[in-house]
Structure 1
Amino acid sequence: MPQRRVVTGRSHEPRARFAEELRLLRAGKGGSLRDVADRLGWDASTLGKMESGRSLGSPELVEALDQHYGTSGMLLALWELAVGDPTQFKEQYRRYMVLETEAHSLWHFGVSILPGLLQTDGYARELLALGGAKGDELDQQVEARTGRRTLLEEEDAPLFRAVVAEAVLRTPLRDKGAWREQLEHLLEVSQWPHVTIHVLPQNAGLHGLVGTSVMFLKLLGGRVVAYTENTVRGELVEEIPAVQQLDDAYDAMRDLALNPAESRKFILRMLEESPCEPST
């Protein structure tokens, strides 16, 4: 029986192959881990763990690396093989991430938590830990979640509007200091010229999005798409009638919310009521 010929010297094990490709791509493009981290707005230690095979990173980070290296989806495909479950990064979410970078305006409503773009590290950490993540995995997920905040901090940041239910602001973190930091961040961000935050009071009653978290992406040319989520799945909605129905429900709900000035006063009141204890 003829000996099997080795076509390349690269690993056939998906996780090792993914790490190897990351190292080769960076070497080919030139630059250090710090250079890539500064370029993408992520932590260099996370990139180092990915190149050594100790971490696979998040889908958001792999998406950013795929664009940085111009690999046209190759890194994403290798990542899916490495995690062993392609459903962890569905085509719909991949498409949503691309569309988000092209949107000139984002409108959000969350059922029970703050939108990811407004979450501090402390808030994201406690929330993600509830899903069972810990150690390096938790660190990586927190970096992935909070790294997306840079979208609102860039010079050409999109307009962002968020409707925050009163119940969200009355559900504190266990770490009282981290909760104060989150409220302080909300108060600060609410004063940015491109960010608008509304608080939806509990006495507003039922509304059309009572069981649905949604992000609307307003794209160039007037096209609008929506990404809806519940506890078990997310869905990219592009059909015009369905998007319009969600948009109408959002507008009706926003009419029940406090205006931006009143909302800032409400957040400030929550901050004043929060215990002054340092985060641990």
Structure 2
Amino acid sequence: MVHINVLDPGASPLDYYGFELRRLREAADLTQRQLGDVLNYTGSLVGQIETARKVPTLEFSERVDAALGTGGLFSRLVVLVLRSQLPAWFRQTAELEARAIEICTFQTNLIHGLLQTPAYVRAVLGVLDKSDLDDRTAVRLARQRVLGKSDPPVFWVVISEGVLCQEIGGREVMREQLAHLLSFEDDPRINIQVLPFAAGAHPGIQGSFTLFRFASDPAIVYTEGYGSGHPSANPDTVKDCSLRYDHLRAAALSLKNSAELIRRVMEERYGEQRLA
């Protein structure tokens, strides 16, 4: 007799998702394999998700909703599941991203997570640890849904020119990543500026930071260290970082010139015609 793992639906969002998936699949009188065939996934994957051994994706959830007629239940649940899989120290920041009406960030080393491509994410997350890389990549990419909301935040990004030159994942990955940045050129809510090397010493030289502004709550500054995040609503800190950000935007290239530099780096440094 096959032992069936019974989940405690109150243990975590992932357990609740698996519990409901099994309950509604059985109510539809479908085996895991049969549901997998309908979804175009394997029955094994369905079983892993039902037993909380695999993290579901948004695409999987949308297909389940369509197949079982659940009215968007799993598409809503998966948002909670994916957020719960973020590192504990980062979950509060993901909530800030989801609530903010304006996000202003300065990045010295990496493309911001809300603008990373899947291949770039995998390269970043897999530097020292390649375990569960598919799941961890899906979890990070799920954060980007905030930019696709009906009323998304205004997102202002200033990146150091060095971010464009730091080859993450290889030339093909970088070319795709820079092309992704250029895809936002005509989106007035997503503004990308490059702080050139020629700027020299600048107000953000101490490191990356992000400002979150909300409709009615005080603004919050977020900085990050190794395995830890540091949000602060201290008015003096917010005022200081707001001033620094204004100066960074002033020192950075214009939106048009930034796009031209990104395009030039993409073609000259990572272009297909360039010899390896």
**Same fold per superposition (TM over 0.5):** yes
Q: Which residue of 2 aligns with 1:97?
A: 94
Retained in 1: the 8 A contact 2:210–2:221?
Answer: yes
CA deviation map 1:119-146 (0-9, x unaligned): 0011111111103124xx1111111122
CA deviation map 1:75-105 (0-9, x unaligned): 89xx79xxxxxx9413xx3333223212111
**C-alpha displacement of 1:194:** 0.9
For structure 1, the residue ranges without an aligned partner over 5 or more in a row are 1-8, 34-44, 59-64, 81-86
Retained in 1: the 8 A contact 2:96–2:212?
Answer: yes
Distance 1:66 1:248, change over 3 A: farther
**C-alpha displacement of 1:27:** 6.0
**C-alpha displacement of 1:263:** 0.5
Report the residue type matching 1:153 in the other structure: G
Alignment root-mean-square deviation, CA: 3.7
CA deviation map 1:186-232 (0-9, x unaligned): 11123212111110001212223223222211100363112111334
Distance 1:153 1:256, change over 3 A: same
Helix, strand or coil: the match of 1:97? helix
Query: Is 181-190 or 147-156 further displaced after alignment?
Result: 147-156
Retained in 1: the 8 A contact 2:218–2:233?
Answer: no
Retained in 2: the 8 A contact 1:211–1:230?
Answer: no
Report the residue type matching 2:267 in the other structure: E
Distance 1:48 1:271, change over 3 A: farther
Retained in 2: the 8 A contact 1:198–1:259?
Answer: yes
- In the TM superposition, 1:170-181 aligns within 5 A as 170-181=165-176
* Identical pairs, percent: 26
Aligned counterpart in structure 2 of residue 223 of structure 1, from 218, 223, 233: 218
Helix, strand or coil: the match of 1:235? strand
Give the Cα separation in 2 of the matches to 1:152 and 1:250: 21
- In the TM superposition, 1:156-195 aligns within 5 A as 156-195=151-190
Q: Which residue of 2 aligns with 1:128?
A: 125
- TM-score by length of structure 2 reads 0.72
Helix, strand or coil: the match of 1:207? coil
**C-alpha displacement of 1:56:** 5.9
Retained in 1: the 8 A contact 2:7–2:19?
Answer: no
Give the Cα separation in 2 of the matches to 1:169 and 1:250: 20
- In the TM superposition, 1:66-215 aligns within 5 A as 68=76, 88-90=87-89, 93-134=90-131, 137-215=132-210
Distance 1:18 1:94, change over 3 A: closer
Give the Cα separation in 2 of the matches to 1:256 and 1:194: 20
Q: Which residue of 2 aligns with 1:42?
A: none
Retained in 1: the 8 A contact 2:19–2:50?
Answer: no
Q: Count how many residue pairs are aligned between Structure 1 and Structure 2.
A: 235
Helix, strand or coil: the match of 1:147? helix
Retained in 1: the 8 A contact 2:220–2:233?
Answer: yes
For structure 2, the residue ranges without an aligned partner over 5 or more in a row are 33-43, 58-72
Q: Which residue of 1 aligns with 2:264?
A: 269
- TM-score by length of structure 1 reads 0.71
- The answer to whether 1:247 aligns with 2:242 is yes
